[in-house]
Amino acid sequence: MAETAPLFLEILLILGGGIVAGTLFKRIGLGTILGYLFAGIVMGPILRLVQHGQDEILHIGELGVVFLLFIIGLELKLSRLWALRRQIFGLGLAQVVVTGGILTLALALILPGWNAAVVIGFGLALSSTAFALQLLEESGEINLRFGQTSFSILLFQDLAIVPLLAILPVLAPGVDDGAGFDPWAMARSVGALVALVAAGRYLINPLFRVLANSGAREVMIAAALFVVLASALLMGLAGFSMAMGAFIAGVLLAESSYRHELEANIDPFRGLLLGLFFIAVGLTLDLSVITENAWIVLLGAPALMAAKAAILYPLCRLFGESHAVALRTALVLPQGGEFAFVLFSAATASAILDGATGSILVSIVTLSMALTPLADGLARRLTPDEERPDEMVEDFSGADQSDVLMIGFSRFGQMAAQVMLSSGLEMTIIDSSAERIRAAGRFGFRIYFGSGLRRSVLEAAGIRQVKIVAVCTNKPEITNAIVDLIHSEFPNVSIFARSYDRNHSLSLRERGVTFELRETLESALRFGGKTLETLGVERDEAMRIVEDVRRRDAERLALQEARSAGTGSTVLGRGRVSPEPLVKPKEGGARTRQPRGAAPAHLAAAAGEDRPAEAP
């Protein structure tokens, strides 16, 4: 026990430091990434509280990137990847080749050998998948146009690490030009990829079906971890990055009926291990190297970021992106990446780089990572509100097998969704406000961008499979147009609609909705009932009064519906009814209530009594 005590103490220090720094930096608006980095720097190079196993901690933390890529893969169908092919293999390829080429040429003027310049130039051209995706996930901007562009570039960079590692033996000193190519290694890599695709299509789904029938939740969690780690290990042994293997496994399971279960099981490990990765980056930072080569590191990191951003911005514009999208993308991906650590370590082992150069490069990459949130904040300030990239991608991957399709996620829809989600229902929610989707994404909601006025969007959102469509849009004219479209194109779907007022309720009823509710009715009744209780009315009596008003209001609405039936007046906007009180005030301002058991208000009005009143 005494031998393991220091290890447990270091684990507690890492957890405690991460909790304190992550919470503090999140509260002051700098984000958890900088908090974890700060915690690692304080516990490692500054206070030296954690002095053992920093490299091992970094390797374990890299599993967070693996899990992150798996979850991203789960949310992407093959059709979606095909739709992004121009950004992945066009813009992504251009970014790696152009950035790596320019940096290589610049470094060749400084360094004595071109071999080192190639490794350093293309290593620094790669960006940090962990940092960039974590920033996009935290801000809920992964589905924005610039978020998808950034993701496409990062995905190609993950692919690019494979050939970059493969050419190291060719660049190593004392090796013949043709000695680095191994056809068997190439065949092994292709075979592993084919095996993973085959297993994903024909083995994993039946496996999870058997495990789900067992009813053991811990077995499902273990199976989810096994699938991710086994896929990552297979691709790692085949020469690919482990993160790439996990991403492929996620894509293959994107259409599985167990996708949501897998995501729920993996997500806690993803968050914990990503935090550990950022702490480990701080722990491995060599402050002595920064001190001895301060001017190189402190000038090199900003210069690297400026150069990469200056290259990526015109490339994005060349591929048709707007100024706002190009600027945000350029300033989200200017840092060095975690794969640079792998490439530089392998290059040092191959004698292409010396140890001191490798340490300086790692320090530059680490500092550029730490500056990334600041660069992203600068991009937000430089992009005017009217130019911000609010255009979102209509990506409906995963929008299937839902019981309810909700259109509109403003305050009314948010409260209604809470009720339905609490019952365990599967919901698909679409909204046309990018800002609302970003806000909801920060709280874990999966909202799809799209307009309910478009038939193609409704089709993609799975309207033919759902049992109910809940139309919760704000404006009555928008609600009416959506209801008309659904009735015309999907006549067998039940429609529940949010109504603006009494006239809108009559209009929706004439349009044939299954259920409608005025947005203020129930809250006003509850408000009035609570007021009665506060004024001394017994709770049961107050509830009876509220129920009596609700009943008479419904009877009045039904009578008005019958009077306008077949005339089309409410649909066309003619013959609007005027709200009248269910209880008419006495002269002099005194109040009275219609006695319980009396004839309904509309019958009293028909008999020539004083016409009572109705809710708006």
Please give the full DSSP string across 151-162, using - where no structure is assigned. Answer: HHHHHHHHHHHH
Of 107 and 34, which is predicted with more confidence?
107
pLDDT class of 75 with cuts at 50, 70, 90: low
Kindly give, in sequence order, each residue whose CB lies less than 8 Å from that of residue 204, ignoring residues fewer than 6 positions away: 227, 249, 252, 253, 256
Give the span between the Cα atoms of 478 and 602, in whole angstroms: 32
- Could you give the 3-state DSSP secondary structure of residue 377? helix
Q: Confirm if 57 and 279 have CB atoms less than 8 A apart.
A: yes
Query: pLDDT category, 210, cuts 50, 70, 90?
Result: confident
CB 135 within 8 A of CB 441: no
Confidence band (pLDDT; 50, 70, 90) for 605? very low
User: How much is the average pLDDT of 30-41?
Assistant: 78
Tokens (6 digits) for 213: 């029938």
Query: What band does 84 get if pLDDT is binned at 50, 70 and 90?
Result: confident
State the fold for domain 5-174+182-387.
Na+/H+ antiporter like fold (1.20.1530)
Look at residue 603 and tell me whether its pLDDT is greater than 50.
no
- pLDDT tens by residue, 300-332: 999 999 999 999 999 999 998 888 889 999 999
- The answer to whether the beta carbons of residues 316 and 325 sit under 8 Å apart is yes
At 237-294, the pLDDT tens digits run 877 767 777 878 887 777 666 776 777 788 788 888 878 877 887 787 777 777 888 8
Q: CA torsion, points 205, 207, 208, 212, in degrees to nearest 10? A: 140
Domain at 395-519: CATH code: 3.40.50.720
pLDDT of the residue at 101: 93
Mean pLDDT value across residues 529-555? 90
Q: Is the pLDDT of residue 490 over 60?
A: yes
Cα(150)–Cα(427) distance, integer angstroms? 28
Residue 474 — φ and ψ, nearest 5°?
A: -75, -50
Q: Which two tokens stand for residue 556?
A: 């009045």
pLDDT band (50, 70, 90) for residue 98: very high
With a cut of 50, say whether residue 178 has pLDDT above it: no
Residue 601 pLDDT > 50, yes or no?
no
CA distance 129 to 106: 25
Which pLDDT does position 565 carry in this prediction?
Answer: 62
- What b-and-e string marks burial along 193-232, b requiring 16 or more CB atoms within 10 Å of the CB? beebeebbeeebeeebeebbeeeeeeebbebbeebbbebb
Are 66 and 242 in contact by the 8 Å Cβ rule? The answer is yes
Q: Please tell me which residue, 228 or 204, carries the higher pLDDT value.
A: 228
Taking residues 455-477, what's their average pLDDT?
Answer: 85
For CA atoms 127, 131, 134, 139, give the dihedral sign: negative
Cβ atoms < 10 Å from Cβ of 281: 29
Task: Identify the pLDDT of residue 339.
Answer: 78
Computed over every residue of the chain, the mean pLDDT equals 78
Predicted pLDDT at 527: 92
For the chain, percent of residues with pLDDT exceeding 70: 80
Higher pLDDT, 415 or 99: 99
CA distances from 611 to 188, 577, 590 (A): 86, 14, 17
Percent of the chain with pLDDT over 90: 14
DSSP for 386-425?
GGS---B----TT--S-SEEEE--SHHHHHHHHHHHHTT-
Statement: residue 118 has pLDDT above 50: yes
Report the residue count for the chain.
616
- Helix pair angle (145-166, 323-332), 10° resolution: 40
Q: Which of 532, 497, 535 is nearest to 518 (CA)?
A: 497
Which residue has better confidence, 216 or 570? 216
Give the pLDDT confidence score for residue 498 in this predicted structure. 92
In three-state secondary structure terms, 336 is coil
The pLDDT, as a whole number, for residue 20 is 92
- The domain spans of the chain are 5-174+182-387, 395-519
Q: Determine which of 5-9, 283-287, 385-389, 438-442 has the lowest per-residue pLDDT on average.
A: 385-389
Which of 66-70, 178-182, 312-316 has the least mean pLDDT? 178-182
**Which of 84-88, 112-116, 391-395 is least confident?**
391-395
State the Cα torsion 275-247-259-421 to the nearest 10°.
Answer: 40
Name the 3-class secondary structure at 378.
helix
- pLDDT by residue (tens digit) across 492-509? 889 999 998 888 888 888
What confidence score (pLDDT) does residue 3 get?
A: 57
Tell me if residue 444 falls in helix, strand or coil: coil
pTM of the entire predicted model:
0.56
Given a contact cutoff of 8 angstroms between Cβ atoms, the answer to whether 34 and 373 are in contact is yes
